Structure 1
Amino acid sequence: MSQQLLFAFIVFAIVMFFTPGPNNIMLLASGLNFGFRRTLPHVFGVTVGFAFMVAVTGLGLGAVFTSYPVLHTILKYAGAAYLVYLAFAIGMSGPPNPGDAERRRPMTFFGAALFQWVNVKGWVMVIGTITAYAAIANYPWNILLQVALSLLLGFVSCVTWVLCGTSLQSLVKSPGAVRAFNIVMGLLLLASLYPVLVEL
């Protein structure tokens, strides 16, 4: 095992997991709007969904995208369209109403896990993980190590962003402040599309 490459991969993963992106912005907004406990399925969906994507790509799906680049393009467009929809939904949402508890729900485990497949930042992370850091260990141990580190760092990152959102609950009390916060989160989610739009 290359310890220097492993250290470089950990630094890369920390930077990518903890910097703002679609997952983190949605987790922050969910923490504010729904609280920590109700956002946990979203946290586990992101964590497990991303690690599963690393595993599947590392074990062979990457070759499919190399052979059929149109599939990657389709995912990119679908992901961009879905992020625009989510940004609009977050930006237009107001504070949760006790009477709306059944209508308004945080993202589910499966919804968050499936979202990883259209998350453009997620694909950048997966491709960087699988290609640039493949030599951290022999195959398939390198994939297992990347999946394990993705699970650990992804979970810590998700929980951190949700806690940031829940900590804002005491500061953002008025319906107007919550609406303004959601609008800012929606705009940040749109801004996270900039690298994708440049390539389209």
Structure 2
Amino acid sequence: MSMTLSMAAFALAMSITPGPVNVVALGAGARYGLRTSLRHVTGATVGFVLLLLLIGLGMRELLVAWPWLTRAIRWTGVVFLLYVAWRLAADDGSVEADPDARGPSLMMGATMQWLNPKAWLASVAGMGAYAASGEKAVIWQFAAIYFVICYLSIACWAWAGATLRQALRERARVRLVNRSMAALLALSALYLLVS
């Protein structure tokens, strides 16, 4: 297997699997439609690739030198995920068009990645596996491959949510989906605490 194909396989495995960012993309697609949820998709992709690049360009040494920073990131991420889960669970399931409803923003998508321990682990593991030598060309190649695959993977989740949107015409169904997404986010947060 070529290095490029191996990088792509790693990026796909880490990007397409369920996680907090993908769960929010699914919920955003269901609630606001694909077009609106693409802001979240774009923000999450840009946020992740920026994190990946910083890890590859030397931030990993900072995390090794200051292990408390890794713990702080993990705890902040867990608290943030629990907050998002609470907001989803508390949502009333209203399906009427709300002129003030904008859906998840570009910044929220990026912030979620920076507070997502799964993103930190994927960045450290990926750069450790493919760019441990610190060769800049390899770091940028990996980031470019990851950008495309990450964007398409998160967009698939948003598209799946948008597809479900047709079935979610009643408040009770929306509440059920929101609470299911909230439970998945809470479980993700709890898993991150014990892993």
**Aligned partner letter, 1:128:** A
- Runs of 4+ in structure 1 deviating by more than 6 angstroms, as ranges, are none
Give the alignment's TM-score, normalised by structure 2.
0.93
1:28-177 correspondence to structure 2 within 5 Å? 28-93=26-91, 94-98=93-97, 100-102=98-100, 104-134=101-131, 139-177=135-173
Compute the displacement of 1:11 (Å): 1.7
Compute the displacement of 1:101 (Å): 2.8
**Secondary structure, in 3 states, of the residue corresponding to 1:192?**
helix
Compute the displacement of 1:157 (Å): 0.6
Compute the displacement of 1:111 (Å): 2.1
Retained in 2: the 8 A contact 1:34–1:96?
Answer: no
- Which ranges of structure 1 fall in alignment gaps of 5 or more residues? none
Structure-2 change in CA distance of 1:52 and 1:30 (3 Å): same
Retained in 2: the 8 A contact 1:65–1:71?
Answer: yes
Q: Which whole-Å CA distance do the structure 1 matches of 2:48 and 2:117 have between them?
A: 12
Q: Which whole-Å CA distance do the structure 2 matches of 1:89 and 1:119 have between them?
A: 17
What RMSD, in angstroms, separates the aligned Cα atoms of the two structures?
Answer: 1.6
What is the total number of aligned residue pairs between the two structures? 194
Compute the displacement of 1:5 (Å): 4.0
**Secondary structure, in 3 states, of the residue corresponding to 2:94?**
coil
**Aligned partner letter, 1:60:** G
- Which ranges of structure 2 fall in alignment gaps of 5 or more residues? none
- Between 1:89-98 and 1:41-50, the stretch displaced more is 89-98
**Secondary structure, in 3 states, of the residue corresponding to 1:95?**
coil
Retained in 2: the 8 A contact 1:21–1:192?
Answer: yes
**Secondary structure, in 3 states, of the residue corresponding to 1:101?**
coil
Structure 2 counterpart of 1:19: 17
Retained in 2: the 8 A contact 1:76–1:120?
Answer: yes
**Aligned partner letter, 1:150:** Y
Q: Which whole-Å CA distance do the structure 1 matches of 2:162 and 2:105 have between them?
A: 18
Compute the displacement of 1:83 (Å): 0.3
